Amino acid sequence: MLRAIRLDPTAAGSSKPGYPFSIPALQGLGEIHVDAPVVFLVGENGSGKSTLLEALAVATALPTIGSGPAHRDPTLAGPARLASRLSLTWAPKLTRGFFLRAEDVFGFILSLRRQRRELEAELEATRVRLEGASDYAMGLALGPHRASLAEMKARYGDDPDARSHGETFLHLFRQRIVPNGLYLLDEPEAALSPTSQLALVTLMDEAVANGSQFIMATHSPLLLAIPDAVRLSFDGSPLGPVAWDELESVRLWRDVLAAPDRFMRHVWGGGGPGAGRE
């Protein structure tokens, strides 16, 4: 389990102006404790929670689903600079798991589609090349391609494109999760309905029982309600734990659900388009 994350203030570049060290929540970061099976990074857009999560993905060298390795991703150059200045404390160290952003699911489906096309093309090219050969020789040549296609079908179905984004996310998660893994998830609720979020909670509970740890950036009050989770707020500096019912997203949804019509009339008719309509 990952126990603590420390930004070394004496490391070269740690005090440099500019992203990501200009993010208020990361200034004077010091050491933060994450010694819980589920840790949430919470805060407004731009508060730095995803940046720290991406830096952890680089620092831990976990595989990234749907794209290349995090340390080779040019879009993560800023988080990589932060990662080089992080010290991680483990007990014990987890070497399995993955980093997953909601948008990577689409990239993963594109990758599966490309792999399937390539395997089918190789299969057909082999048939053409060995036309007239014995059945035995043809079977030997086609065997590896057929096995790869069968494995892909067994893992992801005949047509992964036929699933919704949320269904694909949950199926992918279920297929890839292993015991004693570290899972870094960036706003998974973007792909999931409330019911699917509950399904994710169930999968997380099973994984935690098998020694896994989750560190997740999220805005979802439903996910944030997981019992005994650590919730670290990025809306202030330094970072600090916050109770579920003190989260801004929880307070906002509570206001909406308590009086949805009155709340939305205030927003919808508060001077914007359509103001004053009955």
Task: Kindly state the percentage of the chain with pLDDT values over 90.
Answer: 34
- Per-residue pLDDT of 76-100, as tens digits, reads 888 888 998 899 999 888 889 999 8
Mean pLDDT lowest for which of 22-31, 44-53, 135-144, 244-253?
22-31
Closest Cα to residue 247, out of 231, 228, 223?
A: 231
Select the highest-mean-pLDDT range: 97-101, 166-170, 173-177, 264-268.
97-101
In the chain, where the domains are located: 2-102+165-243, 106-162, 247-278
Task: State in words which class domain 2-102+165-243 has.
Answer: alpha beta
What is the pTM (predicted TM-score) of this model? 0.78
Mean pLDDT computed over 201-223: 95
Q: Given this model, what pLDDT does residue 153 score? A: 73
In the structure, what pLDDT confidence band is assigned to residue 264 with cuts at 50, 70 and 90? confident
DSSP the chain: -EEEEEE-TTSTTTT-SSTTTT-GGGTT--EEE--SSEEEEE-STTSSHHHHHHHHHHHHT--BTTSS-GGG-GGGHHHHHHHTTEEEEESSPP-EEEEEETTHHHHHHHHHHHHHHHHHHHHHHHHHHTTT--HHHHHHHHHHHHHHHHHHHHHH-S-GGGS-HHHHHHHHHHHH--TTEEEEEE-GGGG--HHHHHHHHHHHHHHHHTT-EEEEE---HHHHT-TT-EEEE-SSSS-EE--GGG-HHHHHHHHHHHSHHHHHHHHHTSSSTTTT--
In the structure, what pLDDT confidence band is assigned to residue 27 with cuts at 50, 70 and 90? confident
Mean pLDDT computed over 31-52: 91
